[in-house]
Amino acid sequence: MNIQQFKYVLAVVELKHFETAAEACFVAQSTLSTMINKFEDEIGIKIFNRKTKPVSITAEGAQIIKRLRIIQKEMDALDNVVQELKGEMTGELRIGIIPTTAPDLLPLFLSKFASGFPKIKMIVQELTTLEIQKALKNRMLDVGILAIPLEDDELVELNLYSEPFLFYDCSTEKVKSTIAIQELDYSKLWLLEEGHCLRTQVQNICELSDKSQEKQVNIEFKAGSLDSLLRFTKASKGVTILPYLASLALSKSDQKKLIPFKFPTPVRSIGLVTHKHFAKKQLLNQLQSTIKQVIFPLIPKNHLTQQFNPLS
């Protein structure tokens, strides 16, 4: 048995089709099939049931595949160590980022970071927190950028920054200079749809107000993005709660509708998250450093003395 056979098996597992897997591995289907057959003969176990469409995995094969994934991860880790020692960083860096952070953060750092590693292909996806966690665990992603803490034993978290929340009030022309959480009127509050961590954070903030159950509107709007949420909030003369970076892109007239919170200021912490066996340490450290450098001048510092994190 050899590493190439392992790769062929895992390609079929991922793509569920021998011909497609052969194309992805840049070999003829006959070559891939022959190598996998030899591997199955050597170990005396059939990994795939070729009679099903798409091809399925046998119960015994599932156990073999689990070990092959571990071997592949170790080979990848070895390759990363060798690259770092030789100063020749190549390959891919797959990044998942939550949608409520992506449009405001990515333009600030991604081009600068990518220019420092010209031989690394950066693949960036917008995903929910749960999707990022799952993809990090099955190694479909290398790095997640999302709100922390997650408190997941399989993952490692690195802090990037904390940003305060702001109250966005389109319900009145007379906007207060500051507002306490206990003073909020949630009868016109609009949130993102289920699955976004920002929704959970805002709901946790709302629980601190006696008025958090007052909403009596016969409309349920499930906003899938901050842009949609802002547009609907404005059109309906409603209110919502925004992370600080998202407020920077607002027009001057819309920024006048923003109200800072009194202490204790609600904040969210954004961090880098990787699998505990992630091996591209040089890339990770540089990514953390680059993001911190561009973010530090933008985030106000007066919220740091008294704050609470809705995820903590």
DSSP assignment of 152-210 = -TTEEEEEEEEEEEEEEE-S-S---S-B-GGG--GGGB--BPTT-HHHHHHHHHHTTST
* 90-93, Cβ contacts within 8 angstroms, sequence gap of 24 or more: 90/119, 90/120, 91/119, 91/120, 91/121, 92/120, 92/121, 92/122, 92/123, 92/142, 93/117, 93/120, 93/121, 93/122, 93/123, 93/142, 93/143, 93/280, 93/283
Spatial distance between the Cα atoms of 227 and 234, rounded to a whole number of angstroms: 11
Q: Is 91 helix (H, G, I), strand (E, B) or coil?
A: strand
Spatial distance between the Cα atoms of 158 and 194, rounded to a whole number of angstroms: 26
Q: What is the mean pLDDT of the chain?
A: 83
Spatial distance between the Cα atoms of 212 and 210, rounded to a whole number of angstroms: 6
Domain 3-85 sits in CATH at 1.10.10.10
Segment 187-213 mean pLDDT: 62
Identify whether the C-beta of residue 120 lies closer than 8 Å to the C-beta of residue 73: no
Q: Give the lowest-confidence range in 50-54, 158-162, 253-257.
A: 50-54
Predicted local distance difference test score (pLDDT) of residue 312: 56
Spatial distance between the Cα atoms of 165 and 190, rounded to a whole number of angstroms: 15
Pick the CATH number of 163-266 from 3.40.640.10, 1.20.140.10, 2.40.50.140, 3.40.190.10: 3.40.190.10
Predicted local distance difference test score (pLDDT) of residue 277: 81
Q: Where in the chain is the domain with CATH 1.10.10.10?
A: 3-85
Q: Give the lowest-confidence range in 29-33, 52-56, 82-86, 208-212.
A: 208-212
Spatial distance between the Cα atoms of 29 and 46, rounded to a whole number of angstroms: 18
Q: What is the DSSP letter of 267?
A: E
Is the CATH code 3.10.290.10 the one for domain 89-161+268-304?
no
Tokens of 190: 């609009």
> Tens digit of pLDDT for each residue in 124-158?
999 989 999 999 988 889 999 999 999 899 999 99
Tokens of 71: 């071997």
| Pairing relationship of beta strands 56-57 and 48-49 according to DSSP bridges | antiparallel
Spatial distance between the Cα atoms of 302 and 163, rounded to a whole number of angstroms: 11
Segment 83-112 mean pLDDT: 85
Identify whether the C-beta of residue 198 lies closer than 8 Å to the C-beta of residue 192: yes
Predicted local distance difference test score (pLDDT) of residue 132: 94
**pLDDT of 231 above 90:** no
Q: How confident is the model at residue 216 (pLDDT cuts 50, 70, 90)?
A: very low
Q: Where in the chain is the domain with CATH 3.40.190.10?
A: 89-161+268-304, 163-266
Q: How confident is the model at residue 218 (pLDDT cuts 50, 70, 90)?
A: very low
What is the CA 134 to chain-centroid distance, rounded?
10
Q: How confident is the model at residue 212 (pLDDT cuts 50, 70, 90)?
A: very low
